[in-house]
Amino acid sequence: MKRVVSVSLGDSSGDFLRNVNLAGVDVEMSRIGCNADMDLAAITLENLDGEVDAIGLGGIDIFLRVGSEEFIIGDGLRLSQHAVKTPVVDGSGLKETLERTTVETMLRNGDLRRGTKVLMVSALDRFGMAEALVAAGCECKFGDLIFNLKIDYPLTTLDELKDLARKYRSRLLTVPFRMLYPTGSAQNERASDNKFAHYFHEADVIAGDRHLILRHMPQELHGKIILTNTTRPTTVDELRRAGVQTLVTTTPDLDGVSGGTNLMEAAVVALAEKPRAALTREDYVEWCQRLGWQGEKHVLN
């Protein structure tokens, strides 16, 4: 039996525990939400260190992989260092591979095609997905400035995203993460106005972070496709009520929930039984194939 845990800065109401079998190995997968409390997250990591096979860090990233460059999130790196024996991952390895694969699956299924209008609410945290969407010929708007910094300016090219990451490099190291991304109960808040609703209406597909999507989406999303993960039954209900046609989750269904990429990557690291640093992109691709992870489609309406 392997045991992997996602320690998340998110709300504890989203916690779960599932026992699954992956490639013939029984794996206990769970999530512990720390309600935006960095000290609690640090203590939880210390308590789990050496006691579990791998830890995922949720609600915060350690690295942003943008093209060939890697950008450190200061708060994420400092938090991850509270575990020294058990490998800690943030999902960036799996995002880089599984999320590309999911886009390719959607292309094969006809859910995406050249010219499909995509709103990606944030792309710096999942650049692999952004690259795959652009490579597929989709007409993309990247909402990193809009939804993270409230600057009404959509980015439309990968070069603009790379430029933003470079210019923001030093800030990523020092600015408190909660100022850039909602943590804890703030994840459940909804935008008080519809200022950015038109970006959702203009898109065929809305992709990216679940919290940012739910926070800013208008009440009505008839016929849209949502590409995200970390969904819960309540998320699915909310999207169904909004008229969303199809939900595609990048991570597989775990009896009603889809885990964060950090948790799924932790599972891969536990199964692979080799040092985290030794895992290559090809290893992740191979494990995703072996586990049959390629995105899951849920027709809601």
Partner 1 sequence: MSTNEELSHSLRTFADDCNANEKLRVMNRDWNRVIHIHADDTQADFTLTSNDGTVVYSDGAPSTCDLRVSANCEILTQVFYGEVSPNEPYNEGTLRVDGSEDDVLRLDFITAMLWEE
* 8 A C-beta contact, residue 140 and residue 118: yes
CB 100, CB 132: distance < 8 Å: yes
23 binds partner 1, rule: CB under 8 A: no
169 binds partner 1 (CB under 8 A): yes
Question: Distance (Å, rounded) from C-alpha 127 to C-alpha 133?
Answer: 10
Strand-pair partners of 155: 142
Q: Does 166 bind partner 1 (CB under 8 A)?
A: yes
Q: Between 166 and 290, name the residue whose CB sits nearer to partner 1.
A: 166
Other beta carbons within 10 angstroms of residue 9's beta carbon come to 27
Given the complex with partner 1, which of 118 and 180 has the nearer CB atom? 180
Please, which residue, 23 or 179, has the CB nearer to partner 1? 179
Please check whether residue 208 is in contact with residue 185, taking contact to mean a CB–CB distance below 8 angstroms: no
Interaction between residue 168 and partner 1 (CB under 8 A):
yes
- 21 lies in the site for partner 1, by CB under 8 A: no
178 vs 198: CA distance, rounded Å? 26
Size of the site for partner 1 (CB under 8 A): 16
Among residues 174, 192, 278, 282, the one that binds partner 1 under rule CB under 8 A: 174
Judged by beta carbon, residue 113 or residue 150, the one nearer partner 1 is 150
Q: H/E element holding 96? A: helix 92-109
Q: Which of 175, 186, 291, 300 binds partner 1 (CB under 8 A)?
A: 175
Q: Look up residue 179 and give its DSSP letter.
A: G
Residue window 244-283: x/- pattern of binding to partner 1, with contact defined by CB under 8 A: ----------------------------------------
Which residue carries 């799924």 as its tokens? Answer: 264
**Distance of closest approach, residue 257 Cβ to partner 1, in angstroms:** 31
Cβ 140 to partner 1 shortest distance, Å: 18
**Residue in 109, 170, 194, 289 binding partner 1, rule: CB under 8 A:** 170
Binding-site member from 113, 171, 222, 281 for partner 1 (CB under 8 A): 171
d(CA 215, CA 276): 33
Q: Are 213 and 239 in contact (CB under 8 A)?
A: no
Burial class (CB in 10 A: 0-12, 13-18, 19+), 110: exposed
Task: Kindly give the residue spans of alpha helices, DSSP state H, lying in 114-254.
Answer: 127-135, 149, 158-167, 169-174, 197-202, 210-216, 233-241
Least distance to partner 1 from the beta carbon of 197, Å?
15
Between 124 and 163, how does the x/- string for binding to partner 1 read (CB under 8 A)? ---------------------x---xxxxx----------
Q: Which of 157, 114, 161, 122 is nearest to 143 (CA)?
A: 122
Q: How far is the CB of 162 from partner 1 (least distance, A)?
A: 12
- Should residue 198 be labelled a site residue for partner 1 when binding is judged by CB under 8 A? no
Q: Are 231 and 250 in contact (CB under 8 A)?
A: no
**Closer CB to partner 1, 23 or 151, in the complex:** 151
Residues near partner 1 (CB under 8 A): 145, 149-153, 166-171, 174-175, 179-180
